[in-house]
Structure 1
Amino acid sequence: MDIWQLVSAIIGWVYFLAWSISFYPQAILNYHRRSVQGLSIDFLTYNVFGFACYSAFNLSFFSDEIQREYRDRNHGNSNLVRVNDVFFACHAFLISSFTLLQSFVYKRDPDQRLSHPAWLFFALASITILIDIALALTAHVQWIDLLYHLSYFKLAISVLKYVPQAYKNYQRKSTVGWSIHNILLDFTGGILSTTQLFLDSSMTGDWSGVTGNPVKFGLGLCSMTFDVLFIIQHYILYRDRHDEVLDEEQTEGEGERQRLLSDA
């Protein structure tokens, strides 16, 4: 292994860790505030649904039947299951589900609920998945067709999920309740992932990783663009960090201490 291959390997592990850790700051912030005020329920639900699709997609390739169907459609080439992809998808699904669960437990605003467009998206996606399962069970389509549809849903969600949160920040003129740390980690992972892609392509002289999958590359750029938007919202447009939820908790705590001192 030469120096550039080592650099590429290190970059790969760093962006993998950055993306994996990026799910925790929001859950930790919700716990400290005992509230999800300022957080888009659409964003949370899109995340859970998207990573459920991604987990099912990756796990299914452990099946010999799925691999056979894949080889039949891809000139005999197998789809190698990468353990880190499986771990990342399942880990992201679990922590995203936990964060969504927090929205049912902690304080939230009366208007914090799933929007009608999100309901429509999930309804259509669920109906499509159920139809695919029924057709696969009756041998009208192959199971890999279902997996392709799951991957399409994940790609669509990768674009859609940030829109409700960005709009919510705009409406509130504030990013309080939305963790900027998950964005900084996500942006770091995106930059490093893109750097590795270009580094590997330059070493091998094969740029198909960039030109051969423009959708995947474009989605990565789209995600980083939203990261930049959130950074601008947080550090430039809406710089007020006044958190009424934490202020209220501190006031209640101070009042409780005063009552205890008075009773003593």
Structure 2
Amino acid sequence: MLYTISKFIKFKRIDFLKICLIIILSSDLKHVNSQDHPFNLYIEQHDISILVNETQSTILKLDGIIDRNVNVKLVQQHDNLIAIDPDSIFINKSHTNDDKNIANFSITGLNPGHLEVTATTVPNETWIGRNIFIRVTVGYSNAIIYISIVCGWIYFVAWSISFYPQIITNYCRKSVVGLNFDFLSLNIVGFILYSVFNIGLFWIPEIQAEYFERHPRGLNPVLVNDVFFSIHASFATLFTIGQCFFYERGTQRVSWVAKGLLAAFLLTLIISAILSGTKVLHWLDFLYICSYIKLAITLIKYIPQAIMNFRRKSTVGWSIGNVLLDFTGGILSMLQMTLNAYNHDDWVSIFGDPTKFGLGLFSVCFDILFILQHYVFYRERIQSYRSVEDQNQIDNEVLNDSYEEPVLENSN
């Protein structure tokens, strides 16, 4: 489950939080130059979503006292996606300061896609046009947008509740035999690092300032549901780990391979934190390193469980409910990406930058493997709970191929 994991999603569903973020960001941008310059030109609405052949209007506004004539030319990032009318605006220095609305202009969707509209100004001073920009998204259909939003919320709910079938299974069996400890150890580290990334970008102003310094016209990529999901996932995984200390676990333990990987991740984090603390790296770079480790963990965390199921020839103890919910979330996540790519003719978001889609597909492939193990390969081993001794006896019988010790005859 990624970061989704959330890291650089090109199209985000339009919800209340995003609108709030846009309003806050726009409000901040309006006053960036108010203390350094006599006036500030800015666009009323920085994000516009329209359909092909649909028209929407917005306003160029003024804060402060304009002390010179300014000619503003709106420049499109890509041709043939939208039409702007007018695309050139002349502002006379005699403009009354009581009227903050400089000019209305309209944007009409021509073809699906994403683009950014910026401005060149005469006189050509960077600060004049800094806040004159619009991010425009043009789509084919509102119906696809709504379907995409529904898919997004369903997979969010599916992933959020996917932790509980395993917790319930452990509770009912009073045992964690069959649940791989390497998977748990990697999973908790991944979700904690995911939480650190989300909390840093969502709640720490200094890190937000670093992000917007690098991406002055961007939106914060972390939404409140990202923060909630990562924190909730961390606590749910910690609870599952706690069950391992109280319930029957047999001889299971974290392997040396997993310990070595975790030690390497910890060393990387310590070095990165020291470099960030000594200002060699920015703290934003430290958060990116956390996210890269999370992505690496997502690639490998299911491998120990799959191998354990194969060796035991059984999925007893590994909740299929968790797998089915994760599979549902993964399929809907990729479906949402595909719908967005089609609706906005943005296939580059999948094939040009395949990280998110590829990692989602990788997780779904493991889910399919677990489903096959549970319902096809080892379905005869799906049974009610057995004690550790009974299960170990069955496993030994499988491994020893039903070896029988010979009986010695007594001699007189």
- After TM superposition, the score normalised by the length of structure 2 is 0.58
Partner of residue 228, structure 1 = 368
1:96 aligns with 2:237: yes
* Percent of paired sites with the same residue: 50
Q: Does 1:54 align with 2:199?
A: no
Matches of 1:64 and 1:80 in 2, distance apart? 14
Alpha-carbon deviations, 1:192-242, whole Å to 9, x = none? 111111111111112232134212211111000000000010001001212
Q: 2:358 & 2:168 partners in 1: Cα distance? A: 31
Name whichever structure is richer in strand by fraction: 2
Query: Amino acid of the residue matched to residue 108 of structure 1?
Result: R
Deviation of 1:246 (Å): 6.7
Partner of 1:65: 206
Q: Which has the higher contact order (CA 8 A, sep 6+)?
A: 1
Change (3 A) 1:118 1:25: same
Q: Which residue of 1 aligns with 2:304?
A: 164
Residue in structure 2 matched with residue 190 of structure 1 by the alignment: 330
The residue identity in structure 1 corresponding to 2:304 is: P
2 CA distance for matches of 1:244 and 1:189? 28
Q: Does 2:154 match 1:154?
A: no
1:9 aligns with 2:149: yes
1:25 aligns with 2:165: yes
2:216 matches 1:83: no
Deviation at 1:5, TM superposition (A): 1.8
Unaligned runs of 5+ in 1: 249-264
Aligned position for 2:106:
none
**8 Å Cα contact 1:39/1:165 also seen in 2:** yes
For 1:138 and 1:149, locate their aligned partners in 2 and report how far apart those are by CA, in whole Å: 16
Q: Is the 8 A contact 1:35 1:245 kept in 2?
A: no
What secondary structure is seen at the aligned counterpart in 2 of 1:242? coil
For 2:268, the equivalent position in structure 1 comes to 128
CA distance in structure 1 between the aligned counterparts of 2:244 and 2:349, rounded to whole angstroms: 39
Task: State the distance in 1 between where 2:143 and 2:218 align.
Answer: 30
- Whether 2:291 is the aligned partner of 1:143: answer no
The answer as to whether partners of 1:25 and 1:179 remain within 8 angstroms in 2 is: yes
Q: Which residue pairs with 2:253 in the alignment?
A: 113
Q: Distance in 2 between matches of 1:71 and 1:177?
A: 46
After the TM superposition, which segments of 4 or more aligned residues of structure 1 sit over 6 Å from their partners? Answer: none
More helix by share: 1
Q: Is the 8 A contact 2:374 2:382 kept in 1?
A: no
In structure 1, what is the Cα distance between the partners aligned to 2:204 and 2:196? Answer: 11
TM-score w.r.t. the length of structure 1 is 0.89
Structure 1 residue 71: deviation in Å? 2.8
Aligned partners of 2:211 and 2:284 also within 8 Å: yes
SS in 1 for 2:386: helix
Work out whether residues 249 and 388 of structure 2, in 8 Å CA contact, stay in contact via their aligned partners in 1: no
- Per-residue displacement from partner, 1:38-64 (whole Å, max 9, x unpaired)? 110001111111000000001100222
Unaligned runs of 5+ in 2: 1-140, 390-412
The structure with the largest alpha-carbon Rg is 2
Whole-angstrom distance in 1 between the partners of 2:221 and 2:181 = 35
**1:141 Cα deviation from its structure 2 partner:** 1.1
Shift of residue 67, structure 1, vs aligned partner = 1.9
> 220-229 or 200-209, which moves further after superposition?
200-209
Count residues in correspondence. Answer: 248
CA RMSD in angstroms, aligned pairs only: 1.9
Bigger mean CA deviation after superposition, 95-104 or 64-73:
64-73
Flag the 1:17–1:246 CA change in 2: closer, same or farther, 3 A. Answer: farther
Distance in 1, matches of 2:174 and 2:167, equals: 10
